[in-house]
Amino acid sequence: MILHVDMDAFFASIEQAINPRLKGKPLIVGSRNSKMHTVVCAASYEAKRVGIGSGMSSAEAFKICPNLEFVAAEQSKYIWTSRQIFQLLKEFGFEVLYASIDEFQIDIRDTPNPKLLAEEIREKIFKEFNITASVGIAKNWLLAKLGSKLNKPNGVTVLTEGNLEGVLERFPAAKICGVGKSTAEFLDGLGVNTCLDLYQKSARFLEQNLGKYGINLYVSLHSTDSFDSPEVPEKPKSVGHSYTLPRAVLNPQFIKAWIRTLSEMVAQRLRQDNWESSTVHLWLNGPEIGNFGAQKAFQQPVNDGLEIYQRCLKIIAKLGPKLPLVRAIGVTCSGLSKSSYLQPLFKEQIRRGELLKAVDRINSRFGDNSIYPAVITLAR
């Protein structure tokens, strides 16, 4: 069994927890400081109920709800809270994986009462951070992720062999992670309307109509394999982070800010374990481009977030001067090798190395992302 934890309106909930005055009020978190000239990075549930969502311009949001509260995004808060929640989940004694900055997967095999465990996790998160989480439990990560979406906010859904079909038939196929609008419309034309219709289709049917993606979808829906591996390799194959936006966005600065943020998160993990990477992989998903993924190998291995980000920009340049709509972003570093202990030759390299060491020392003492590069903040 996989237990999937999905934080509720994560960024907005953190801002409401920090500032009690914002509790219960419609709130948007903007990608920039400019209240009327920004993009909605996140919306509280009070704002969502009146039709406001991520990716919407703030001007449009204020037309819908003139009494909106506004806070500019401060990414360090969200990354720090995400790391703390990750550590909290590890205290339950199971293997925990990041799914994104606000989603976590836990292998709970042989747990006698999964729902009781889910309630304990939710209660502890709320007690520690004053924010809520929704939990899905199922035989694989894809169904568990679906379950976490079905009783939001602050709910628990357990999908078992006994209730699985009854639950799946109540929701459209687009509810399944990875089934975008265009794919859902295509499936609808084939008579595949609900999650149950999709679940009951054969691997052959999905391969004939969706190709390799269809096979992957079938395996993900029916797998009972844990993400756990009996043998943990000494050297990881890659280090990566990804984030799924609540809706597709077109703002290039917003997208690049997220790439910068993810690059920094990856770099911090590389430095923590004394790795450097020579290959950077950038992944984007959106309704216009589907899954875009490209990687580039470089002669010089690095573990500096700025350098990883700059390498990602070289990859994204393949898409041309105008970025398409983007819904999800991922940055992964591979080609790992142990960090070199050779002293850099150039003055700027020495200064940059000392700066990164100072940043790591401060964050180690005062908590992750107590200090971070100004350019990664979505408020820029």
Rounded to whole angstroms, what are the CA distances from 182 to 210, 287, 329, 348? 12, 7, 19, 48
Non-local (6+) Cβ contacts of 190 within 8 A are 209
> What single DSSP character describes residue 134?
E
Residue 36, exposed/middle/buried by CB under 10 A (0-12, 13-18, 19+)?
A: exposed
- Residue in the structure block whose two tokens are 């911090």: 268
Choosing from 103, 264, 276, 307, which is the catalytic residue? Answer: 103
Beta carbons within 10 angstroms of residue 246's beta carbon:
17
- Please answer whether residues 297 and 278 qualify as being in contact, where contact means their C-beta atoms are separated by less than 8 angstroms: yes
Burial 96-111 (b: 16+ CB within 10 A, else e): bebbbbbbbbbbbeeb
| Cα Rg, the chain, nearest whole Å | 21
DSSP for 54-99?
TTSBHHHHHHH-TT-EEEE--HHHHHHHHHHHHHHHHTTTS-EEEE
Cα angle at 242 between 290 and 327, to 5 degrees?
35
Please state whether beta strands 96-100 and 275-286 pair in parallel, antiparallel, or not at all (unpaired). unpaired
> Roughly how many angstroms between the first and final C-alpha of the chain, as a whole number?
41
Known catalytic residue at 103: yes
Point out the residues that are catalytic: 103
